[in-house]
Structure 1
Amino acid sequence: MRLPVLLLAGLLLTGAASADGLRVAAVLDGDTLELEDGRRVRLAGIEAAKPPRHANPADGRVWPLAEAATAALADLALGRRVALHGPAPIDRHGLLLAHLVREDGLWLQSALLVRGLARVHTRPDARAYAAELLAGEEAARNAGRGLWRSRVYAVRDAADADGLSRDRDSYQLVEGVVLAVSKSGGETWLDFGADWRSDVTIHIGRGAMREVTRAGIDPLSYEGRRVRVRGWITLRNGPMIEITHPEQIERLEREAASATRQRSDPGDDDLWDDDEGEDDLE
């Protein structure tokens, strides 16, 4: 899938690579590769299907979706010249986070998304082109391609608090109707159930609220609305997703009746674990 002309122009205007680009010397997994100058790049804004973080390669277990994603990236990029675009920060593993465009104009992130071999995973320092990325993911999900045929990657029901509690420390897409929105001390909570002490909750802290407001989002308007949110599942008075940037929330069109209630201070006696985990492929 080629970039739309206007988007390609925008990428070129913000690009930091040479006009000729660099050749891809190796593909390490479904969203990570090595350039001929030795730099390793992780494709910004997406997460390809991969084995779980604690999988042991010695046990011989096969992870078909992960292998398909790696093979697809190799077919798309190995030996080809690519240009790096976007801010290109360095992550905690020393990898560049960047958008990569092949010499013929093919956008690698989009190509993987529309094949259903990756899903959108933005972060505060890797948010560029989120709308275009989400459109590619939506097309693959609606068509049931790749990882969207697997229940491991299915969009989760926000009403299933027990199931999401069991999946703590995993990255999930969660969808449901927001029953109540509450604000206190510059923070905001969006609750999907009748009891905020145990239901699925979206939390937007003070810093993130500033970004959400700059993006023109009023969380109070989400009460009674169906939304899709993506992020790491932690536990604090039930399953919680912490919002760090506005691209994590999509407001969907369908509406539902709302329920209004008050939230008190959640306190500090419940478990709050920010460690990241990985999905298990099945």
Structure 2
Amino acid sequence: MRILLVLWLCLPGWVNAEIYQWQNADGSKHFSDRQGGWKCRNRSGTDATGCPVAEAKKLDIKPGHDFYRVKTVYDGDTVVLEDGRKIRFLGINTPEVQHRDKPADAGGDEAKQWLIDTLKNTKVRLEISAEKTDKYGRTLAHLFTETKQHINLQLVEAGLAAVSIYPPNLLYVNELVKAQDQAELAKLGIWGRPEYAVRPVSRLTEAGHPGWTRLLGKVVNVRTTRKSVYLEFSDAFEARIERKWLDLFPDVNSYLGKTVEVRGWLSKSKGHLSMLIRHPSAIKTNTVF
């Protein structure tokens, strides 16, 4: 199998670093990268009348200025600082290292060793995005060294990490996506490994695939529910987009009938496989074998 060409699905201005928050009548909080003129979407997930949100407020995201020494490197995207805080790197995901009886993913040990070598004899400062911690209590951050190295970005540039955006944490999305584009084209790190080659949806089995993966197939239907929009590839597989993040995506119906690549983690529910897509950077088009 040989990948000849990979083109990004058009990435318009929704991948910038400014984040705005607003609250609707039922108290639900929403985030976007535009202060006004959010798209209203009808039940089918398509655009309706433009709806400016005058009360949307820009989140005040301040970079940290204090530097800390890293005490422990757990893996390529998780460290512990000298003050005891566990830090999960924002915007990226590196392959897993060995955990108990679970073997390391391809490239996991390389990412960890790169991080150990890079952080040796230096300190880091943290830059927080919209959310300070995750559900595990880990601090979410971009790391910068005393010499202004952006660690998250450099891992992507070296092909040691894939971009993994969790809205509303949208800081440095432009830079991360551009770096990944270049690493993929150069087949650096994970992008040159057969374990991470794109797989046709038609070859999926009921067992699915462990860990982060890339799947290619044709979107044959777009289905909507109250909470999500589903891109259906077959009776056995679909990609899910939560409606609260639709403002970040182009019109979901534009995917219908197209062959696209989706990347992420598979889950199994009610006899079929599903992949949660949190950001448009996890959907690509025109992947040719």
How far apart are 1:73 and its partner, in Å? 0.7
Kept in 2, the 8 Å contact 1:26–1:78? The answer is: no
Distance (whole Å) between structure 2 residues aligned to residue 172 and residue 62 of structure 1: 15
1:108-147 equivalent positions in 2, closer than 5 A? 108-124=151-167, 126-147=169-190
Match of 1:42 among 68, 88, 95: 88
Equivalent residue, structure 1, for 2:127: 85
Match of 1:223 among 256, 260, 263: 256
Distance (whole Å) between structure 1 residues aligned to residue 251 and residue 161 of structure 2: 29
Q: Deviations over 1:251-270 (max 9, x none)?
A: 42579xxxxxxxxxxxxxxx
Q: Deviations over 1:108-152 (max 9, x none)?
A: 011111111111222245443333222222222222222223232
TM-score where L is the length of structure 2: 0.68
Kept in 1, the 8 Å contact 2:164–2:282? The answer is: no
Higher strand share: 2
Kept in 2, the 8 Å contact 1:25–1:78? The answer is: no
Match of 2:155, as an amino acid? L
How far apart are 1:98 and its partner, in Å? 0.6
Distance (whole Å) between structure 1 residues aligned to residue 92 and residue 287 of structure 2: 26
Match of 2:274 among 240, 243, 253: 240
Kept in 2, the 8 Å contact 1:168–1:234? The answer is: no
* Structure 1: segments with no counterpart, 5+ residues: 1-6, 256-282
1:49-64 equivalent positions in 2, closer than 5 A? 49-51=95-97, 53=99, 55=101
TM-score where L is the length of structure 1: 0.69
Distance (whole Å) between structure 1 residues aligned to residue 187 and residue 254 of structure 2: 31
Provide the aligned length of Structure 1 versus Structure 2.
231
Equivalent residue, structure 2, for 1:23: 69
Secondary structure (helix, strand or coil) at the match of 1:14 reads: coil
* Structure 2: segments with no counterpart, 5+ residues: 1-14, 19-59
Distance (whole Å) between structure 2 residues aligned to residue 64 and residue 189 of structure 1: 30
Q: Give every structure 1 segment of 4 or more consecutive aligned residues whose post-TM-superposition deviation is greater than 4 Å.
A: 61-64
1:117-196 equivalent positions in 2, closer than 5 A? 117-124=160-167, 126-162=169-205, 165-168=206-209, 170-185=211-226, 187-193=228-234, 196=235
Match of 1:73 among 99, 105, 115: 115
Q: Greater relative contact order: 1 or 2 (C-alpha under 8 angstroms, separation 6 or more)?
A: 2
Match of 1:17, as an amino acid? G
Identity %: 27
Higher helix share: 1
Distance (whole Å) between structure 2 residues aligned to residue 36 and residue 172 of structure 1: 34
Kept in 1, the 8 Å contact 2:106–2:195? The answer is: no
Kept in 1, the 8 Å contact 2:159–2:190? The answer is: yes
How far apart are 1:186 and its partner, in Å? 6.0
